[in-house]
Amino acid sequence: MSSHPRRWFVSPLATIFSLALGCVWQMSMAAPVATAGMERSQIITFLGVSVPHHAWDYGRGAVGRMVVEWEQRKDRHGIMVSFLQGRGSLSSGTELAILLAIDRAAHAAGLQTDSWTVTFKVHEPAGTIYGDSLSGLAGLTVVALAKGDIIPSDRTMTGTITQDGGIGPVSSIPLKIEAASKQHLRRVIIPDELDITDSDWVNPFLMQVSPIQSAALAYQALTDHSMKPTHE
C-alpha cells in the first residue's frame, strides 16, 4: 500500500465538488475562533464492528483510535483535509463521509472552514476502516479543535451528521456499546433514531449511553461546552 496520503482540497468556489458530495458548500460570516498559524491535535476513540469470519457470524464490536490534527492557516483558499497512512487506514467512502461531516458540523457551529488544514491518521485497528458511523465524531472533533475544546478520552460517539444538523442512524449499536463497555468508556453518544436492522441495546453498568437528536446536543455531550457561543 502506498505511503502517500490522500489529500482533499476544497475551495469555497468548488461547487461541482460540493454537489458531488450531496451538499452545497456554505460559509457563515462568523469570525474564526483561532488566530492564523495555530495548531491543535487530539486522539479520539471511535466504535466499529469487526469483519465476520463466517456466514453465521455477525461480527463483534470494536474500538479504534485515530489522531485528528487541525491548523488555522493565514490564507482563505479552502479547507484541506489529508488522510495519512497509519497502522490502519480509511476507505475512500469513509473519507467522503468525514468530509461531509466536517462541512455539516462547521455549518451547525457557524464556523468558516476555508482557512483550515485537517489531518486524520488511524492508530488502530490495523487494516482498512469502512462505513460512515465514525464520521459524526470526526466532524465534531474538528469543530472542537477549532474552538479550543477537548473531547475526554472516555467519551465517544457513533452516528452520522445529516444535512439538517441531526444525528443519522447507524447499525450495530448493541455491539458497539458492548465493545465500549469492555474498554471502560464512560459515555457513548448514539443516534436517537435506531437503524431498522438493530435490536434494543442494554445500558452497561457504570456507562452512560445517550441517544441524541442533533449535532449541537452531541457536541455538548462530548465536550461539556456549547457548540455555538451564547449571546445575551
- Helix, strand, coil content of the chain in percent (nearest 5): 25, 30, 45
Domain spans of the chain, in order of start: 6-20+37-222
Q: Which CATH number fits domain 6-20+37-222: 3.30.230.10, 3.40.50.2000, 3.30.420.10, 3.40.50.720?
A: 3.30.230.10
Q: pLDDT value at position 164? A: 96
Return the exposure string of 96-109: e unless at least 16 CB atoms fall within 10 Å of the residue's CB, then b.
Answer: bbbbbbbbbbbbbb
Chain segment 19-65, per-residue pLDDT in tens: 333 332 333 333 345 667 789 999 999 999 987 665 555 678 999 99
pLDDT score recorded for residue 202: 80
pLDDT surpassing 90 at residue 2: no
Q: pLDDT grade, residue 13 (50/70/90)?
A: very low
Per-residue pLDDT reduced to its tens digit, 165-213? 999 999 899 999 999 999 999 999 999 988 777 777 788 888 999 999 9
State pLDDT tens for residues 88-111. Answer: 999 999 999 999 999 999 999 999
Cis before 12? omega within 30: no
| pTM assigned to the model | 0.83
More confident residue, 160 or 171: 160
> Cα–chain-centroid distance for residue 226?
17
Q: Which three-class secondary structure state does DSSP give residue 218? A: helix
Alpha-carbon gap, residue 105 to 63, rounded angstroms? 23
Do residues 159 and 180 lie in contact, with contact meaning Cβ atoms separated by under 8 Å?
no
Give the pLDDT confidence score for residue 190 in this predicted structure.
96
For residue 1, the tally of other CB atoms under 10 A from its CB is 6
pLDDT in the model for residue 54: 56
Angle 68-72-76 (CA atoms, 0-180°, nearest 5)? 125
**Three-state DSSP class for residue 61:** strand
Query: Comparing 7 with 64, which gets the higher pLDDT?
Result: 64
Q: Would the pLDDT of 17 be above 80?
A: no
> Would you say residue 153 has pLDDT above 80?
yes
DSSP-derived letter for residue 195 is P
With 50 as the cut, is the pLDDT of residue 155 above it? yes
Peptide bond into 125 cis (omega under 30): yes
